[in-house]
Structure 1
Amino acid sequence: MTLVKELKVKKQPKQGMLENVLKQFNTAADLVNLNPNIKKILEVTNNELIIHFPVRMDNGNVEIFKGYRVQHNNALGPYKGGLRYHPTIDIDSVKALAMWMTWKTSLAGLPYGGAKGGIQMDPSKYSASELERITRRFTYALGENIGPEHDIPAPDVNTNAQTMAWIADTYMSTKAPSERSKNQHVVTGKPIGSGGLEGRDRATGYGVYLSIKFWAKNKKIELKNKTFIVQGFGNVGYWAAHFLELDGAKMVGVQDAFGSISNKKGISVEQLFEYTKANNGSIVNYPNSNAILKEDFFGVDCDICIPAALGNQITEENAPKIKAFLVAEGANGPTTVEAEKILLERGIEVIPDILCNSGGVIGSYFEWLQNRNGELWELEEILVKLEKKLKEVFKKVLQASESKGLDMRSAAYFIAIERIEKAYIQRGIFP
Structure 2
Amino acid sequence: MITKDIQLPVKKTETGMVANVLEQFNKAAHHIQLNPNIQRILNVTNNEIIIHFPVKMDNGDVEIFTGYRVQHNNALGPYKGGLRYHETVDIDAAKALAMWMTWKTSLAGLPYGGAKGGIKINPKLYSQSELERITRRFTYALGDNIGPEHDIPAPDVNTNAQTMAWIADTYMSTKSPSERSTYQHVVTGKPVGSGGIEGRDRSTGYGVFLTIKLWADKRNISLKGQRFIVQGFGNVGYWASYFMDQEGAILVGVQDAFASIYQPNGIDVNQLQSYINHNEGSVNDFADSKTIKKEDFFALDCDIIIPAALGNQITEENASLIKAKLIAEGANGPTNVSGERILLANGIEIIPDILCNSGGVIGSYFEWLQNRNGELWHMDEVLLKLEKTLQDSFNKVYNFAIAEDIDMRTAAYCIAIQRIEKAYIQRGIFP
Residue 76 of structure 1 and its aligned partner are, at CA, apart by 0.1
Matched residues in 2 for 1:32 and 1:194: separation? Answer: 44
Matched residues in 2 for 1:350 and 1:189: separation? Answer: 27
Q: Which SS does the other structure have where 1:175 is aligned?
A: coil
The within-5 A match list for 1:380-419 is 380-419=380-419
**Aligned equivalent of 1:228:** 228
Unmatched tracts of structure 1, length 5 or more = 1-13
Matched residues in 1 for 2:172 and 2:258: separation? Answer: 37
**Aligned equivalent of 1:429:** 429
**Aligned equivalent of 1:365:** 365
**Aligned equivalent of 1:301:** 301
Encode CA deviations 1:169-197: one digit per residue, 9 max, x unaligned: 00000000010000000000000000001
Residue 352 of structure 1 and its aligned partner are, at CA, apart by 0.1
**Aligned equivalent of 1:7:** none
Matched residues in 2 for 1:137 and 1:378: separation? Answer: 33
Opposite residue 205 of structure 2, the aligned amino acid is: G
Residue correspondences, number: 418
The within-5 A match list for 1:316-327 is 316-327=316-327
Encode CA deviations 1:340-395: one digit per residue, 9 max, x unaligned: 01000000000000000000000000000000000111111111110011000101
Matched residues in 1 for 2:185 and 2:205: separation? Answer: 22
Matched residues in 2 for 1:15 and 1:316: separation? Answer: 16
Q: Which SS does the other structure have where 1:118 is aligned?
A: strand
| Runs of at least 4 residues off by over 6 Å | none
Matched residues in 1 for 2:426 and 2:360: separation? Answer: 29
Residue 406 of structure 1 and its aligned partner are, at CA, apart by 1.0
Opposite residue 94 of structure 1, the aligned amino acid is: A
Q: Which SS does the other structure have where 2:350 is aligned?
A: strand
Opposite residue 21 of structure 1, the aligned amino acid is: V
Matched residues in 1 for 2:186 and 2:167: separation? Answer: 8
> What is the TM-score of this pair, normalised by structure 2?
0.97
Matched residues in 2 for 1:222 and 1:354: separation? Answer: 24
Matched residues in 2 for 1:379 and 1:106: separation? Answer: 24
Residue 32 of structure 1 and its aligned partner are, at CA, apart by 1.1
User: Which structure ranks higher in relative contact order (CA pairs < 8 Å, sequence separation ≥ 6)?
Assistant: 1
**Aligned equivalent of 1:57:** 57
> What is the TM-score of this pair, normalised by structure 1?
0.97
Encode CA deviations 1:218-261: one digit per residue, 9 max, x unaligned: 00000000100000000000000000000000000000011100
Percent identity (aligned): 73
Matched residues in 1 for 2:372 and 2:110: separation? Answer: 15
Matched residues in 2 for 1:238 and 1:67: separation? Answer: 28
Matched residues in 1 for 2:40 and 2:225: separation? Answer: 48
**Aligned equivalent of 1:251:** 251
Residue 428 of structure 1 and its aligned partner are, at CA, apart by 0.2
Opposite residue 330 of structure 2, the aligned amino acid is: G
Opposite residue 205 of structure 1, the aligned amino acid is: G
Matched residues in 1 for 2:90 and 2:28: separation? Answer: 26
**2:118 pairs with 1:122:** no
The within-5 A match list for 1:155-234 is 155-234=155-234
**Aligned equivalent of 1:89:** 89
**Aligned equivalent of 1:346:** 346
**2:256 pairs with 1:240:** no
Encode CA deviations 1:58-79: one digit per residue, 9 max, x unaligned: 0000000000000000000000
Matched residues in 1 for 2:351 and 2:327: separation? Answer: 6
Opposite residue 201 of structure 1, the aligned amino acid is: D
Deviates more, 1:158-167 or 1:377-386: 377-386
Matched residues in 2 for 1:240 and 1:361: separation? Answer: 16
Opposite residue 106 of structure 1, the aligned amino acid is: S
Matched residues in 1 for 2:321 and 2:331: separation? Answer: 20
**Aligned equivalent of 1:310:** 310
Opposite residue 366 of structure 2, the aligned amino acid is: F
Matched residues in 1 for 2:268 and 2:325: separation? Answer: 22
Q: Which SS does the other structure have where 1:93 is aligned?
A: helix
Matched residues in 2 for 1:40 and 1:249: separation? Answer: 44
Matched residues in 1 for 2:129 and 2:94: separation? Answer: 26
Matched residues in 2 for 1:32 and 1:204: separation? Answer: 29
Give RMSD over aligned pairs.
0.7
Matched residues in 1 for 2:267 and 2:117: separation? Answer: 34
Unmatched tracts of structure 2, length 5 or more = 1-13
Q: Which SS does the other structure have where 2:157 is aligned?
A: coil
Encode CA deviations 1:30-63: one digit per residue, 9 max, x unaligned: 0110111101100000000000000000000000
Encode CA deviations 1:107-139: one digit per residue, 9 max, x unaligned: 000000000000000000000000000000000
Matched residues in 2 for 1:23 and 1:86: separation? Answer: 25
Matched residues in 2 for 1:282 and 1:263: separation? Answer: 16
Encode CA deviations 1:390-425: one digit per residue, 9 max, x unaligned: 000101001101111111001000000000000000
Matched residues in 2 for 1:320 and 1:272: separation? Answer: 29
Residue 15 of structure 1 and its aligned partner are, at CA, apart by 5.1
Opposite residue 129 of structure 1, the aligned amino acid is: S
